[in-house]
Amino acid sequence: MEGGTRQDSVPLHGSIDKSRILDVKPLKSLIPIFSMSSQAPPPGQYPTGFSPFSPFGAPQQTPTEVTPNGASIPTPIRVYSIPPGAGDSSSTMEGFSGQRTSGKKKRGSPKSSSAKSSLDKPKKTQEPPVDLGVLVGITPAQKEDGSREVVNFVLMAFDALRRRLCQLEGAKELSLGPIKRADLKACNTLMTKGIRTNTRKRIGSVPGVEIGDIFFFRAEMCVVGLHAHFMGGIDALHIRGEFEEETLAVSIVSSGEYDDDAEDIDVITYTGQGGNFFKKDKHAIDQKLKRGNLAMDRSSRQLNEIRVIRGIRDDVNPNLKVYVYDGLYKIQDSWIGKAKGGGDVFKYKLVRMPGQPSAYSVWKSVQKWKSGTSRIGLILADISNGAENIPVSLVNEVDNVKAPTYFNYFHSLRHPKSFSLMQPSNGCTCTKSCVPGDSNCSCIRRNEGDFPYIGNGVLVSRMQLVHECGPTCQCFPNCKNRVSQTGLKHPMEVFKTKDRGWGLRSLDPIRSGTFICEYAGEVVDRAKVSQLVREGNEYVFDTTQIYGQFKWNYEPRLLEEVNPNESSEHYAMPYPLTISAKNFGNVARFMNHSCSPNVFWQPVVYEENNQSYVHVAFFALRHIPPMTELTYDYGVARSDHAEGIRAVKGRKKCLCRSSKCRGSYG
């Protein structure tokens, strides 16, 4: 460069001041430099048959070499760098290398351009992406540090987008081909658009994520900041000091893929990462003390809290797993063991910190009950007396009450009211089963051209009316468009609550959008509602109530669809429907009210003999852990709402204890 002398230019011979360069180190060796602790635990603290690994005992191969006089020799940073494609690159975050990853290529995404949707097409303009996080109500502060409300919002936005992608994939409506992993696509889209929370990494609890929360996809943990890696089992935090950098483990996922011992409800023996795991001979090569293993090693001495997420096989889908956040653990011990493939693997014993709510222990209890172990408080094995395909148990662990008030178990509506269709139809003419994307299917056309359900009978969006296939349709009885007519999907339990009478819960985890049950009972005249209330009938469902508004459907702007088919979340009831479950009903009569419910109702219509009948179906508002009470919003009487009356006769005090409690309902 002309016009001056740069600081890094070569000086003339004989003009070098050697005193100024004695301490200069090569650039690549500046980071990371890890100090080696001189304190080693006394011998005899390791399991019999295992040898301690460095730096606790005999010298092993470590990322940092030590000179004879004890000084650390910096190791080139390339030793710690993440191999291409091995890190979580969904966003700008810190990997185990201590460097920031760009987030342009995502693990698990399709490799070929033909497998990308229109979202992956390059922009013609260079305008920065719109931060939809601000537009949908997530402030910069909430993006960095979340809350329970923000976490639930982000998770609902994720699953809504994932369901929509699966719906488009099923109908073959993606512009450039299929999406192999809708969960990864949804996660990448949300992160790109700024709809996420808890972006600030931390040690310990994550704001808004509660112990016992479940996740059906690891990508869900990424968007709420619980665990930052789609594939890696160890997530780490870099703490940069003035002279060195410390790497500590902040969370682990024990999914059973490695040789983990995770049967104990309070102790996990966790196997480190690496060692040819994804090849035929598992752990044929010794694991190295680097990246995640190095972070676990540091945490074993720092004794910092580590979040533990346990992967449990899903009973409904044995090929899939459900992840439960089990709380905070600390590493109590570590050693080197031998894997089945012959290689050396790092072992870490993590112990759960006392005083935390139950999580994994609940799953273990349910597994015992399902296997036939006697249950404390069990009164009746099946309250439906065979009316349901799956038994509904009756349990009381609170007092000596033996049963709820007598009623006749009935799985649907008695004396339903019908209405005539605007355009007479005898149902669809599909053979075998209705197929998503089939424009010739009359039932699909009634659903605004979209198939309302995806795999496993999950509802995609709230709609004004969901049209299901009925008895006059020619498709098979197991058609996927008959979800609400095939009974319970999960084993249910009617149980006695401490202060709200009887309640309802599931022994299985329930995925967001899953059908719960129908509100069964006798259809009564609207004029009799007041009389029923005066008589103390608490088992009344009235579609004319004012219900709390909430957004459950996907945000069309996230997909940049040319002609988005945005379903209205305001129901269009053809007539007011009032159902009394006092004398005839099913498990729905036991669901209690909550101002922050985990279940919502959706009107479903199917026809018979040119007459359509409206049914009230309940679906999961969000993922529901096992043994969690199922609740929905009872609403407020329309007359009370219009007149602004806060408390009138017939209204009841609410005991839901949620942060959004209205104080009363009915």
Q: What share of the chain is helix, strand, coil (3-state, %, to 5)?
A: 20, 20, 60
**Which pLDDT tens digit goes with each residue over 9-66?**
444 444 444 444 344 444 444 444 444 343 444 444 444 444 443 333 333 333 334 3
480's CB contacts (< 8 A; 6+ apart) are 433, 434, 451, 453, 457
pLDDT band of residue 70 (cuts 50, 70, 90) is: very low
pLDDT of residue 308: 98
Question: What is the pTM assigned to this prediction?
Answer: 0.79
Contact (CB, 8 A) for 395 and 494:
yes
Please choose, from the candidates 410, 394, 393, the residue with its C-alpha nearest in 3D space to the C-alpha of residue 583. 410
The predicted pLDDT at position 135 comes to: 85
Q: What pLDDT is stored for residue 180 in this prediction? A: 80
Instruction: Note the pLDDT tens digit of each residue in 510-551.
Output: 999 999 999 999 999 877 777 777 777 789 999 999 998 999
Q: Say whether pLDDT at 86 is over 70.
A: no
pLDDT one-digit tens code per residue, 178-224:
678 999 999 999 999 999 999 999 999 999 999 999 999 999 999 99
> Which residues, 6+ apart, have CB-to-CB distance to 262 below 8 Å?
254, 256, 268, 269, 270, 310
Q: Is 153 helix (H, G, I), strand (E, B) or coil?
A: helix
Q: At what angle do helices 148-170 and 182-193 cross, to 10 degrees?
A: 130
At residue 102, the 3 state secondary structure works out as: coil
Q: Supply 541's token pair.
A: 């469902």
Query: For the segment 115-150, what is each residue's pLDDT rounded down to a tens digit?
Result: 334 444 444 455 666 788 888 889 999 999 999 999
pLDDT at 183: 95
Q: Is the pLDDT of residue 73 over 50?
A: no
The structure tokens 């994520």 sit at 209
Is residue 3 within 8 Å of residue 216, measured between CB atoms?
no
pLDDT at 330 over 80: yes
What's the whole-number mean pLDDT along residues 165-172?
Answer: 90
Q: Is the pLDDT of residue 170 over 60?
A: yes
pLDDT value of position 640 = 54
Closest to 297 (Cα-Cα) out of 75, 79, 37: 37
DSSP string of 75-93, one letter each residue: PPGGGGPPPTT-S--SSS-
Q: What secondary structure, in 3-state letters, does 350-411 show?
A: EEECCCCCCCHHHHHHHHHHHCCCCCCCEEECCCCCCCCCCCEEEECCCCCCCCCCCCEECC
CA nearest neighbour of 323 among 335, 333, 313: 313
Per-residue pLDDT tens digits for 254-296: 987 666 777 889 999 999 988 765 554 555 688 999 999 999 9
CA distance 87 to 79: 15
> Mean pLDDT across the chain, nearest whole number?
80
